[in-house]
């Protein structure tokens, strides 16, 4: 019997959510990171040095940070960037600290999933989950060199077939003049949001 550690329990929690398990864990970790950053990290000189060196976050995470609507934290953090030359944005070795956290989180989950693919307890729980989204399925397959077990492929293929039927039925019954990919449409087609949403 394999030992169970934090990554395993975190994976089980992801499977019990109604989302792609990887998206669920990544979102939970990055939200927690941003909250901690606002309450403690703003005064962390190591973080501030890296933030300045990388010219802030990537555009997506800059927006995510803004959405937290903490004006003081935003002012303190982004003031550090005011003295930089805009050309420093072009530096090749720039990374976003939140993107790095996400990559590390994803890699840990992929390693844990790979270990558990033949574990009956994990398999029974996973087949009751929403399954991986399109993006994480592709990345996981690539990570384990496409050595996905048959049950894992069958489970996702069945989900996709159901989704195609459901989406077709929706498109046929809706007014074709509306934007088929608007958020409200995606919300209405059960499962499509989980399949295409990253995080
Ligand atoms: Zn996902
Ligand atoms: Zn980023």
Radius of gyration of the CA atoms of the chain, in A: 20
Residue whose C-alpha is closest to residue 55's, from 24, 95, 26, 113: 95
CA atoms within 13 A on the CB side of 89: 10
Of the listed ranges 15-29, 78-92, 101-115, 118-132, the least confidently predicted one is 78-92
Q: Give the mean model confidence (pLDDT) for residues 126-144.
A: 94
What's the whole-number mean pLDDT along residues 28-52?
88
pLDDT at 187: 60
Half-sphere exposure of 71 (CA within 13 A, CB side): 0
Contacts 24+ apart (CB under 8 A), 167-171: 167/192
Ligand 1 center to 12 CA (angstroms) = 15
Ligand 2 centroid, distance to 71 Cα (angstroms): 20
Ligand 2 geometric centre to CA of 184 (Å): 26
Q: What is the pLDDT of residue 178?
A: 55
- The whole-number average pLDDT for the span 108-131 is 94
Question: How far does the centroid of ligand 1 lie from the alpha carbon of residue 23, in Å?
Answer: 4
What is the chain's length? 199
11 Cα to the center of ligand 2, angstroms: 23
Q: How confident is the model at residue 166 (pLDDT cuts 50, 70, 90)?
A: confident
Q: Which pLDDT does position 169 carry in this prediction?
A: 81
Q: Do residues 11 and 186 touch, judged by C-beta distance below 8 A?
A: no
Provide φ and ψ at 49, rounded to 5°. Answer: -65, -45
For the CA of 61, the nearest ligand: 2
Rounded average pLDDT over 8-27: 93
d(CA 89, CA 56): 9
Residue carrying structure tokens 């990559």: 103
145 CA from centroid of ligand 2 (Å): 26
The candidate with the shortest Cα–Cα distance to 69, out of 99, 33, 34, is 34
């Amino acid at each position: 019997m394999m030992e169970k550690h934090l990554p395993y329990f975190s994976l089980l929690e992801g499977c019990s959510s109604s989302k792609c398990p990887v998206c669920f864990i990544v979102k939970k970790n990055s939200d927690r990171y941003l909250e901690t950053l606002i309450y403690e990290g703003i005064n962390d000189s190591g973080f501030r040095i890296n933030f300045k060196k990388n010219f802030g976050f990537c555009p997506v995470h800059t927006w995510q940070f803004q959405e937290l609507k903490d004006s003081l934290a935003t002012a303190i953090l982004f003031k550090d960037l005011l003295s930089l030359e805009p050309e420093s944005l072009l530096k090749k070795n720039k990374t976003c600290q939140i993107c790095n956290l996400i990559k590390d989180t994803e890699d840990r989950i992929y390693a844990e999933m790979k270990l558990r693919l033949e574990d009956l307890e994990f398999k029974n729980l996973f087949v009751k989950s929403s399954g991986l989204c399109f993006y994480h399925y592709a990345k996981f397959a690539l990570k384990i060199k496409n050595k996905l077990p048959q049950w894992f492929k069958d489970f996702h293929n069945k989900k996709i077939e159901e989704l195609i039927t459901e989406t077709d039925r929706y498109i046929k019954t809706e007014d074709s003049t509306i934007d088929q990919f608007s958020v409200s449409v995606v919300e209405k087609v059960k499962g499509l949001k989980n399949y295409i949403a990253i995080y």
